[in-house]
Amino acid sequence: MALSTGYHRVRTAVFISGTGSNLKSLIKFSKSKKSPISVNFIISNNPKAKGLNYAKKFKIKKTVLNFQNKILSENKLLSILKKNNIEMICLAGFMKILSKNFIKNFKGKILNIHPSLLPKYKGLNTHEKALINKEKYSGCTVHFVNSRLDSGKIILQKKVKISENETVESLAKKILVQEHKLYPKAILKIFNL
């Protein structure tokens, strides 16, 4: 991506739906000296998302949009993001699929983290699928978002070994630890840092 930081940190919005542990790791990263981004907005489709608490804790603006009417919610969202000069979007456990039109407005500037070694296991229940297929490895992927689900250009991946007695829960936990490291690394990579 021809993203350049110039003299400022790229103003980023993080979209969540749940716990927000990846959001937390991105906020921590954004506060480090080497970060090319700042986290300036948190968006959630779920008013009960735990991750929304990080807005208060770190004094970051937030908005909840229910996405029941996708076009209306996305239009509102676009205007909020534009008003706040948001330049980049990081999806972090965001459970809604963005429309082609929305993506077009942030072309090449939306990233997502997915808990599998894409192109394997797009969509939901990735850990379950990996275990059912008796995979030796799974992992996580940071990729650009395009209009097809979990199909944009891959930026970075991290492999995680599946152990003999692995469960969906234990695998999810192991992979999440790696996700928290991979997202910041992928951001550094796209800025050539």
Residue type, 51: G
Distance CA 114, CA 85 (A): 26
Count residues near ligand GRF (CB under 6 A): 14
Say which residue the tokens 């492999």 belong to: 159
- Supply φ then ψ for residue 81, to 5 degrees: -65, -40
Q: Which of 81, 92, 103, 130 binds ligand GRF (CB under 6 A)?
A: 92
Counting contacts by CB under 6 A, is residue 40 touching ligand GRF?
no
Q: Indicate the length of the chain as a whole number.
A: 193
Residue 22 vs 35, nearer CB to ligand GRF:
22
The answer to whether 94 and 16 are in contact (CB under 8 A) is yes
Q: Which of 12, 18, 90, 144 binds ligand GRF (CB under 6 A)?
A: 18
Q: Which residues contact 118 (CB under 8 A, 6 or more apart)?
A: 141, 143, 150, 151, 154, 157
What is the 8-class DSSP label of residue 117? -
Does 184 participate in binding ligand GRF (rule CB under 6 A)?
no
CB-based burial label for 49 (10 Å; 0-12, 13-18, 19+): buried
Measured distance between the N- and C-terminal CA atoms of the chain, rounded to whole angstroms: 13
In the complex, least distance from residue 162 CB atom to ligand GRF, rounded to whole angstroms? 16
From 114, 127, 143, 180, active-site residue: 114
> Per rule CB under 6 A, is residue 19 in the interface with ligand GRF?
yes
Of 16-24, 30-38, 56-64, 157-165, the segment contacting ligand GRF by CB under 6 A is 16-24
Can you tell me which of 130, 176, 186, 190 binds ligand GRF, judged by CB under 6 A?
176
Stretch near ligand GRF under the rule CB under 6 A, chosen from 18-26, 40-48, 145-153, 160-168: 18-26
Active-site annotation holds for 8: no
Contact flag: residue 127 with ligand GRF (CB under 6 A): no
* Residue 93 found at the interface with ligand GRF (CB under 6 A): yes
- Across the chain, the runs of DSSP E, i.e. the strands, are 10-16, 37-44, 61-64, 88-91, 110-114, 137-144, 154-161
According to the binding rule CB under 6 A, does residue 115 interact with ligand GRF?
Answer: yes
Positions touching ligand GRF (CB under 6 A) are 16, 18-22, 51, 92-93, 113-115, 176, 179
Q: Hey, which residues are catalytic here?
A: 114
